[in-house]
Amino acid sequence: MGIQAYSGSGWVLTKLEELINWGRKRSPWPLPYGTACCGIEMMCALASGYDMARFGAERPSFSPRQADVLIEAGTISKKMVPILQRIYDQMAEPKWVIAMGACACSGGVFRTYSTLQGIDKVIPVDVYVPGCPPRPEGLLYALIKVMEKIEKDHPLRKQFEQLELAGSCGNA
């Protein structure tokens, strides 16, 4: 994006996609989904000491409708799978997922009948944070990685592809 102000109120020259990404990147509202000890570290990262709001994660959204990034922090038991899937389905596009901690990434030490062996078995994951639990810095780094991913996104291309798809269906 190029912003120039020679005189007066100035002008902006940019691509629409970059403008959209610029906006999305700087307000990734997290949906905190803490199910175990990782949740405590996530709270720490959200609170004033580490202050995730510095990166635009200003408002932890407890409604999936208004969230952009699902931070899945903790063990997911198999009994809980439908709840996690439903929450992911309820989030509006665009949405990203951070799997925080060894349990969310792979089941961790719980290689048992009752534990889901990684949340990527049921929902797509964008960033994995290893650790048991990871330090808050790890979560902040993951958020920055999500922001990098948003930056490379092509939101309009996706829209047009969907439009074209819908149009072709209508014609046929």
Partner 1 sequence: MLKDMVQGCLGPLAVCMNECQGDLSVEVSKPQVLEVLRRLKDDPGLGFDFLSDLFGVDNSDLHKKKPAPKKAAGEGAADAEPEQPGPLPPRFEVIYLLLSLKTNKRLQVKVKVPEDDMTVDSATSIWKAATWPERETFDMYGIRFKGHPDLRKLLMWDEFPAHPLRKDYPLEGLGEERHLIYE
- As given in the structure block, the two tokens for residue 88 are 């992911």
Do residues 98 and 142 touch, judged by C-beta distance below 8 A?
A: yes
Q: Which stretch binds partner 1 (CB under 8 A): 35-43, 61-69, 75-83, 137-145?
A: 75-83
Establish if 90 lies at the interface with partner 1 (CB under 8 A).
no
Which residue, 78 or 145, is less far from partner 1 as judged by CB? Answer: 78
* Nearest approach, Cβ of residue 76 and partner 1 (Å): 11
Which residue, 103 or 147, is less far from partner 1 as judged by CB? Answer: 103
Which residue, 85 or 159, is less far from partner 1 as judged by CB? Answer: 85
**Residue 104-133 contact track with partner 1, rule CB under 8 A, x = bound:** -------xxxx-------x-----------
Q: Give 1: exposed, middle or buried? Use CB within 10 Å, 0-12, 13-18, 19+.
A: exposed
Angle subtended at Cα 28 by Cα 24 and Cα 30, rounded to the nearest 5 degrees: 155
Q: Which of 66, 85, 90, 159 binds partner 1 (CB under 8 A)?
A: 85
- DSSP H or E run through 70: strand 69-73
Do residues 40 and 134 touch, judged by C-beta distance below 8 A?
A: no
Residue 115 is given by DSSP the state B
* Nearest approach, Cβ of residue 120 and partner 1 (Å): 14
Cα 100 from Cα 32, distance rounded (Å): 11
Q: Which of 26, 54, 59, 79 binds partner 1 (CB under 8 A)?
A: 79
Total residues interacting with partner 1, rule: CB under 8 A: 12
Do residues 58 and 52 touch, judged by C-beta distance below 8 A?
A: no
Q: Which of 17, 20, 55, 78 binds partner 1 (CB under 8 A)?
A: 78
Tell which residue, 40, 25, 38, has the closest CA to residue 99.
Answer: 38
- List interacting residues with partner 1 (CB under 8 A): 78-79, 81-82, 85-86, 89, 111-114, 122
